[in-house]
Amino acid sequence: MTTAPPPTPPALRRSLNLGHAVLYGIGVTVGAGIYVLIADTAARAGMHAPLAFVVTALLVGLTGATLAELGSRFPVAAGEAEYVRRGFGSDRMGVAIGYLVIAMAVVSAATISVGAAGYIRVFLPLDTKLIIVGVVLAMGAIAARDVKDSVTFAGVMTLVELGGLLLIVGAGFMLEPRVLTELPSVLPHSVDPAIWSGIAAASMLAVFAFVGFEGIVNIAEEMKEPRRTLPRALFLTLSITTLLYVLVTWVSLATLGVAALAQSKAPLADVFHRLTGWPRTTMSAIAVVATLNGIVVNLIMASRVMYGLARRSGLPAWLARVSPATGTPVAATFV
């Protein structure tokens, strides 16, 4: 009499295609940073600020190429931890990197939740702490659903967020003549060290606008054909976000001018109001969507890294349990 083998525990579902991965990547990359960094880059690089984003994208692209290569070889959750473990032959170093990625995602989600509460209070004057708790629980419930559902939800919010930025770009090209007439001033026509040092300083700040795209590697274990999908998703995300940043920055500069943009506390809201005459609360509504999106994608990323580490004995084994109903690490998401 033969003994039946023990049942195989549920694993993460490979249900994400290239579109899902790109929307996830854009959602985790395009966040609150661009709403603030435009003013700071304008203060340092002036009319050349769009060029700073291009320079930064080229440098960040080197990291993207590295992640594309490593992610194709090891398409697993907790990707960064696995790359370090394999590269240095050290489980401890891999676990340490995994802990840092988890900390980054949790701190990001927490910080964004505070920002979300501020925007939500514009429309719903409740206690800030109550809003924060409600937002985190609601977004956590979405992150715990089937990954295709949660990433699709985040993708829809990403499209709304992109729609707001594209609305600014479209209004700028249609309503502000300087967007086209002053376009040649983007490129420096001098080797003046002050110009290039300003671009370099702005490029260092612009790095923060691209932070997050590397998180795509942590959903590789849930991608269809990750060896093809992951590299494409990384470079499409980087290309789309770079183009968007350049266009939004240029329209903002042409609309407000360097001095006014550099001093603005809410640059995109000011640009939107100047171009359309619509109330600034319109951008606040879009900011609510952007912040909620940021919470969802960071919770997804943190839970997948926890799952990956737990499966390799870097965290308690119960964090690696996958729900048969949703195909997601519900316990890790709850934590």
CA separation for the pair 117, 132 (Å, rounded): 6
Strand-pairing partners, residue 16, are: 223
Report how far residue 285's alpha carbon sits from residue 281's, in angstroms, rounded to the nearest whole number: 6
Distance of alpha carbon 305 from alpha carbon 103, whole angstroms: 10
Q: Could you list the pLDDT tens digit for every one of the 335 residues in the chain? A: 555 555 556 678 888 899 999 988 898 888 656 766 788 899 999 999 999 999 999 999 999 999 999 999 999 888 899 999 999 999 999 999 999 999 988 988 888 888 788 778 878 888 989 999 999 999 999 999 888 888 888 888 888 888 888 999 999 999 899 998 988 888 888 888 888 999 999 999 888 888 888 889 988 888 989 999 999 999 999 999 999 999 999 999 999 999 998 888 778 888 888 888 888 777 778 878 888 888 888 899 899 999 999 988 888 999 999 988 888 899 999 99
The whole-number pLDDT of residue 141 equals: 93
How high is the pLDDT of residue 7?
A: 55
Cα 202 to Cα 280: distance, rounded to the nearest angstrom: 27
Distance of CA 73 to the CA centre of its chain: 23
Cα separation of 40 and 262, whole Å? 6
> What are the C-alpha distances in Å from 305 to residues 1, 73, 76, 154, 194?
41, 17, 9, 19, 43
Which candidate, 327, 228, 230, 332, places its Cα nearest to that of 13?
327
Helix (H, G, I), strand (E, B) or coil at 16: strand
Residue 36: predicted pLDDT: 66
> What token pair was written down for 141?
């419930």
Q: How far is CA 14 from CA 69, 128, 216, 224, 327, in A?
A: 20, 38, 14, 5, 9
- Closest alpha carbon to 258 in 43, 51, 36: 43
